[in-house]
A = this chain, B = another copy of it.
Amino acid sequence: MAEFDLTIRGGTIATAADVTRCDIGIRDGRIVALAEALPPGMRDIDATGRLVLPGGVDGHCHFAQPAGDGSRMADDFLTGTRSAAFGGNTTVIPFAAQAKGQSLRDAVAAYHAEADGRAHIDYAFHLIIADPTPDVLERELPELIAEGYTSFKIYMTYEGMKLNDRQILDVFTAARAHGAMVMVHAENSDCIAWLTERLEAEGKTAPFFHGVSRPQVVEREATHRVISLAELADLPILIVHVSGREATEQIRWAQGKGLRLYAETCPQYLFLSADDLAAPGFEGAKCVCSPPPRDKANQQYIWDGLANGAFQVFSSDHAPFRYEDPQGKKLGGESAPFRTVPNGVPGVETRLPLLFSGGVGEGRIELTRFVELTSTNPARMYGLYPRKGTIAVGSDADLAIWDTEREVTITNDLLHHDVDYTPYEGQVVRGWPITVISRGTVVCDDGALHVAPGQGQFLPCDRPDPAR
């Protein structure tokens, strides 16, 4: 009987540190051997000429997350994890969002009900804490952290979600006490409201003005503020979806002071710009997300931050709304004011190919850095490492085999989400994940799905690395 259930033979494997020509031996869903040459397994995959990467860990995506405004996300766990898998991912970490007045545990339970038996790849949950009552902070949160919900996102904007500074400090205090990681959406709510009202009063309501209502100063202010709160509370935090130069400068400044500050950016800040929000008619709504894409000069600052260390994590912030849908981008109608347009762009399937092509392919970042940003670091940040996020003996056999030469023109037809558009329509990339393996099982291969819903399992998370 073969020593291995599966061998991947002949490929070049990459981790956050190393690029190596070697075979991979898999047994019971885990990697048990890496060697120049391994004996045949029960099944062999020939990866000669291919790149074998750790499956992507998308540390920031939204599936089936209710908003309370009548909108509905186009992807649930079924379609969301399917799309993620086709995009080279083996783990996703969406959000179990607390509503005001709701118990955290109820939110988690509801989210488990959504996910149970429907996921194609493994998943963990970030919590969203929208109502940090004493009971939540002192009882529920410690219990949930102990049970494997060790990271949560808080918002500095959005009605129904936003916390004030005192609440943020209280959440930080609990996170520090119990070893959790806090992710922060940093935009100043009051500024956005003030600007929005003024724009509306001037009749400036087209999708383009969504970006005008959230200029960089609004993000920079909130970034500086939450850095200060974390400095005071003395804990590491992570700023999500950093969009441009001004917030990045605050992040570098804080890192230069020796603060343990982490930051994430997303494809929309590299591959979209304010020009896309200015598309004719209502088309700009397709790119409405927050923070909004900035001008093209800012894209370079984001690339620099990915290359030289301001950012540790690259996520999709997949937030899927259909364009032609009264519960989607057109929630408010055909030419609704930007205020009513659901925020978010789909991207869980395009995240990796876009960064691989624009980053590794164009020589902006190294392959090891690509793996670190898209897989190893999110796993570390959110307590999934070393189970996820690397190719190492003992880790889950979560792998993506890439054809680095395949040139693909991105079109929505090609994608497996349940959204009716992609903001990257027509962009050409070189390099695409061909085969994705989760715990030793081929999830998809050459465009075909090979597993049933339920293949993906829930992952309780350990203490995040920065919180150790």
A contact set with B: CB distance below 8 Å: 15-22, 25, 32-36, 164-166, 169-170, 188-191, 193-195, 215, 217-218, 220-221, 224-225, 228-229, 231-232, 249, 252, 255-258, 260, 300-301, 303-304, 307-310, 366, 368, 371-372, 376, 386, 390, 392-395, 465
Contact = CB atoms under 8 A, between A and B. Distances in A.
A401 to B, nearest CB: 17
Contact of A22 (B18, B220, B308, B394): B394
A29 B169 CA distance: 55
State the 5 A-B residue pairs at the shortest beta-carbon distance, nearest first. Answer: A17-B17, A258-B304, A33-B35, A16-B17, A165-B190
Contacts of A193: 166
B231 A217 contact: yes
Nearest to A19: B386
A301 B372 CA distance: 25
A16 B14 CA distance: 12
Nearest to A390: B18
Contacts of A190: 164-166, 169
Nearest to A168: B190
Nearest to A30: B36
B258 A232 contact: no
Count identical subunits in the complex.
Answer: 4
A257 B22 CA distance: 38
Contact of A309 (B17, B20, B304, B309): B309
Given A35-B35, A232-B191, A17 B256 contact: no
A308 B309 contact: yes
A195 B300 CA distance: 26
Given A34-B33, A217-B232, A231-B217, A394 B309 contact: no
A368 B19 CA distance: 16
B18 A386 contact: yes
A120 B94 CA distance: 53
Given A18-B17, A225-B221, A252-B256, A36 B169 contact: no
A173 B464 CA distance: 44
A330 to B, nearest CB: 29
B20 A386 contact: yes
Contacts of A34: 33-35, 392-393
Contacts of A300: 258
A191 B169 contact: yes
A465 B310 CA distance: 20
Contact of A393 (B36, B249, B386): B36
Contacts of A169: 190-191, 194
Contacts of A376: 17
Given A18-B392, A308-B309, A33 B36 contact: yes
A394 B21 contact: yes
A169 B386 CA distance: 45
Given A35-B35, A229-B191, A256-B249, A17 B390 contact: yes
Nearest to A221: B228
Given A166-B194, A308-B309, A221 B224 contact: yes
A56 to B, nearest CB: 15
Max count, chain B CB within 10 A of own CB: residue among A255, A372, A395: A255
A299 to B, nearest CB: 12
Contacts of A255: 308-309
Contact of A36 (B32, B36, B231, B372): B32
A2 to B, nearest CB: 14
Contacts of A303: 258
Given A33-B35, A217-B232, A221-B224, 4 more contacts: A32-B36, A33-B34, A258-B308, A309-B309
